[in-house]
Structure 1
Amino acid sequence: MAGKTNHDYHILPPSPWPLIGSLSAVALTGGGVMWMNDYAGGSFVFLLGLMGVLATMFLWWRDVIAEAHAGDHTPVVQLHLRYGMILFIASEVMFFVAWFWAFFDAALFPSSVEAIGGTYPPAGQEVIDPFGYPLLNTLILLCSGTTITWAHHSLIHGNRDGLKKGLLATIVLGLIFTAIQAYEYAHAPFAFSNINGGNIYTATFYMATGFHGFHVIVGTIFLVICYLRAQKGHFTPKQHFGFEAAAWYWHFVDVVWLFLFVAVYVWGSWGAPIH
């Protein structure tokens, strides 16, 4: 009776991962700065920090999955996990707000940016045709939103086959999106190296679309883990927060791309020569 709990909350046991993760993050960022400034050992410190961060992510999430299977994720705990994921996505929204702010500041007030000659896009700036590969990628992400929703509804209704097929289809679409964007970057009429050359169009384009592409890769990895867990039978109709978090993240990635396509690709290229 002394060890019996009379509440629905999960009291976490002592864990080394917060401390190890923090030290690894410091090594990752510090090593990166050292590496970029040609300090001796900077690359080693960076790689050591990177390995520490990746190991912390894997082992910490392994513990969370074990806690779920042990019955520690009560309805109250699951609710709070959802709150945490919502706040994380909100922080990601603000991250992209920064890039959209930079884009709209230059696009709406080009006269304030002397380097681009008072016009946006800058005079003579060749741009990517928004109705080529960008439109194709838009359709791919919209389709992926339907496949992940199919997987979610299949899980809720106990259809494990539909869950696996929906996840697999979403993963394939995510990989296709990444491959097309890589091809687009390789054949773009402006180089990534120009982001430090004073060209605000190139800088905002690559930073906004590039970070979105990074989020697509992270989301795809997220879905691959969910697919592997689905193969092991981890998710149930009443307990599947890991999958739900991945689905929310993927929908966030979809919505951000729609804004990027309309603003950066379509409106941002208005009146400029198409590549």
Structure 2
Amino acid sequence: MRSPFHLVEMSPWPILCSVSAVCVVVGFLDWISGGSLVLLVCSVGLLILVLFQWWRDVVRESDQGWHTSFVASNIRLGMVLFILSEVMFFFSFFWAFFSSSLVPGIEGGAVWPPVGVVPLNPFSIPLLNTSVLLGSGVSVTWAHHALMAGDRSEVLYGLFFTVVLGLYFTVLQVFEYYECSFTIADGVYGSLFYVMTGFHGMHVVIGTIMLLVCLWRCFNYGFSSERHLGVEVSLWYWHFVDVVWIFLFLCVYWWGG
């Protein structure tokens, strides 16, 4: 009798994905510190390549019938635990932010933001980014409900608009960094600002890639109203990204500025 569980074969993608993700972070820090874009571009390219190969294997497993109800349940549980770990990850940065802002040190003039730091206007690009992400949350929910109803064309429209809004958010984030009058080297404010928004931006890029894969699979009739695990976990991840940005906007841009 065939087991309902699936033992994944040996794969190089997890370790390669970890290495490329670390290189993306190093390349990003090097870029915003005045370095070149070479390392960042190469790292992002490697990460996209590894993710493509990894998702290709996962899609093949799904098409071959290995994602039984038992496996799907474990995948959902794994995604929930992963999102919880990401919540703790961002919680540590918010803890550092409030620890530094509520009791500012004398090296920054005992005020927040520190002396010499001119924060961004929260009602310019940050507010526009907030609107973009909230709109993407609406469009991805639209796609999910359309998928449950079996309306493939509405799913394609919803996922397409979400991917476009995710890319638009990333472009706006880059423009925002160019407008900043401070760098990651400008004390605790600059360090926390770039680390928190940079890691969130990286999550937006990964979430956009996930939804792009879902769009491609939906275009090739890879989902149905009963079988759409990939869209489900991608939607959870995207809503998590939305919620984190709302806290970033309220705490870092508005209150912290």
TM range (shorter): 0.7 to 0.9
Correspondence for 2:140: 148
- Matched positions, count: 243
Question: Deviation at 1:100?
Answer: 0.8
Correspondence for 2:59: 65
Correspondence list, 1:87-166, <5 A: 87-110=81-104, 113-166=105-158
Question: Deviation at 1:181?
Answer: 1.4
CA 1:247 to 1:157, structure 2 compared with 1: closer, same or farther past 3 Å? same
1:176-223 superposed Cα distances (whole Å, 9 cap, x missing partner)? 111111111111122x3xx234x1111111111111111111111111
Q: Distance in 1 between matches of 2:230 and 2:177?
A: 32
Q: Does 1:212 align with 2:208?
A: no
Pairwise CA RMSD of aligned residues?
2.6
Q: Which amino acid aligns with 1:22?
A: I
Q: 1:232 aligns with which of 215, 220, 232?
A: 220
C-alpha contact 2:16 2:50 (8 A) present in aligned 1: no
Question: Deviation at 1:124?
Answer: 4.2
1:111-137 superposed Cα distances (whole Å, 9 cap, x missing partner)? xx2311211111342111111111111
- Please, which runs of 5 or more residues in structure 1 have no aligned partner? 37-42, 270-275
Q: Distance in 2 between matches of 1:131 and 1:170?
A: 23
Question: Deviation at 1:22?
Answer: 3.1
Structure number with bigger Rg: 1
Q: Distance in 2 between matches of 1:120 and 1:135?
A: 21
Q: Which amino acid aligns with 2:255?
A: W
Question: Secondary structure of the equivalent of 1:196?
Answer: coil
CA 1:21 to 1:10, structure 2 compared with 1: closer, same or farther past 3 Å? closer
1:142-189 superposed Cα distances (whole Å, 9 cap, x missing partner)? 111000000000001100001000000001111111111111111112
Correspondence for 2:34: none
Question: Deviation at 1:108?
Answer: 1.0
Which TM-score applies when normalising by structure 2? 0.85
Question: Deviation at 1:94?
Answer: 1.4
Correspondence for 1:39: none
Q: 1:9 aligns with which of 5, 9, 25?
A: 5
- Please, which runs of 5 or more residues in structure 2 have no aligned partner? 31-37
Identity %: 45
Higher mean C-alpha displacement, 60-69 vs 79-88: 60-69
